[in-house]
Amino acid sequence: MTVTASRRTPMSSPTPTADPETTWRRWRHDFHRFPETGFDEHRSADRVAQVLSLLGIEVARGIGGTGLVGTLRRGSGAGIVALRADMDALAIHEHAPGRAYASQHAGRMHACGHDGHMAMLLAAAQLLAEDGGFDGTVRFVFQPAEEHGRGAAAMLADGLLERFPFDEIYGVHNMPGLPAGQIATRVGGLMASEDNFVIRVHGRGGHAARPHQLVDPLVVGAEIVLALQSVVARSVDPQQPAVLSCTEFHTDGIRNAVPSEVVIKGDTRSYAPEVQSLLERRIREIAEGIAQAHGARCEVEYTHEFAPTINHAAPVAAALEAARRVVGAAQVDGDTPPVMASEDFGRFLLHRPGAFVFLGNGAGSEPGATPLHNAGYDFNDALLPVGARWFAELVRLRLPATASETRP
């Protein structure tokens, strides 16, 4: 449905006399103060819809759960560009003594900067709504549930592309460890896929004093964990990036009893579909083979969680040009190394061309250098105008206006 106003107390609304950057910081701090986890972003979506409506932007709600799309049209151009921000927080208890806008929701915080991503995209919406300078249509896509890789698929399943079509899509993520304000991306693989696995080993448990009568799943599980360390080293082409990590090991045993079951959990990261298939096959072969050799049984579950984020060449060129215009060539890296972390934005890129970029949050002793997913992390407010102007410049590059269309 289309939203024209919110029933809740509004955030500071944009006005011609207000300092926009002060307003953008207030938006960001409000989002930070009230974090919401995946598919529970009701208040956040209300606030986003509120601001977009005040800017005169058409808003549609309830797409893939709590997702929403704002639509802004100028001129008669047929081109449509989508800009995306994620909305969800993490189930982490914030540790930030003295932070005036610290989380008011115990056990939840914006430890990944999605509060800043929302504020940047709203700021870009304000710039584009007030100043125009483009000819065509912009979709402002606010996605739920990025952290667990479910939100993009939910929006797509709810008809995002059919109901709100677009030609290209762009996104940004703040990146601690990069100098503040630096913009970095690359053509091709930027962030990896993530697949999860669960291996259940069934043995025969019993008294620890009589191991000869048992089938010890701990021994089987330990051998499986060690053997899996050889998969990337000996089965994957060294020129193909891949990670295989066993991250959990659980048993139903006690101090003086050998367990009957061991559960091993973990994940894999890669870029190529053939590597994903190889990793799954080798995990199954190794786990089942070792279990059989010991007289145990085993079951392997393997699920695909995140698609890899594979950038397209023409959108990357546009993203880099917009970056050079906003921060200068010295602050732009067009061949940044890929990372093995995952990002739900990659699922959109399976359906439409686009580009994802990193925006430096701070390095060394700079504010913003605290790692993502850390209880003390905070988004660097100095990035709000950088990200907003990058988004706006990108739209103006991809949807160029005639002289008569430079303002609404």
Active-site residues: which are they?
Answer: 88, 146
173 is in an annotated binding site: yes
CA 94-97-98 angle, to 5 degrees, is 125
CB–CB of 139/407 below 8 Å? no
Neighbours of 358 (CB within 10 A): 21
Q: Using CA atoms, how far apart are residues 301 and 172, in angstroms rounded to an integer?
A: 32
Q: Using CA atoms, how far apart are residues 186 and 355, in angstroms rounded to an integer?
A: 9
Alpha-carbon 302 to chain mean position: 21
Please state whether beta strands 80-86 and 136-143 pair in parallel, antiparallel, or not at all (unpaired): parallel
CA distances from 92 to 105, 106, 174, 286, 340 (A): 10, 8, 18, 35, 22
351 is in an annotated binding site: no
Q: Using CA atoms, how far apart are residues 339 and 346, in angstroms rounded to an integer?
A: 13
CB–CB of 143/86 below 8 Å? yes
- The amino acid occupying position 323 is A
| Structure-token pair, residue 66 | 């709590």
Strand positions, DSSP E, 271-387: 297-306, 309-311, 332-333, 354-362
CB–CB of 112/147 below 8 Å? yes
Instruction: List, as one string, the DSSP characters of 109-148.
Output: B--SSHHHHHHHHHHHHHHHHHH--B-EEEEEEEES-TTT
Q: Using CA atoms, how far apart are residues 261 and 202, in angstroms rounded to an integer?
A: 5
114 is in an annotated binding site: yes
- H-only helix segments in 204-272: 217-234
Q: Using CA atoms, how far apart are residues 318 and 322, in angstroms rounded to an integer?
A: 6
Q: Using CA atoms, how far apart are residues 128 and 113, in angstroms rounded to an integer?
A: 23
110 is in an annotated binding site: no
Q: Using CA atoms, how far apart are residues 122 and 21, in angstroms rounded to an integer?
A: 12
147 is in an annotated binding site: yes
CB–CB of 70/128 below 8 Å? no
Binding site for Mn(2+): what residues are annotated?
112, 114, 147, 173, 373
Binding site: what residues are annotated?
112, 114, 147, 173, 373
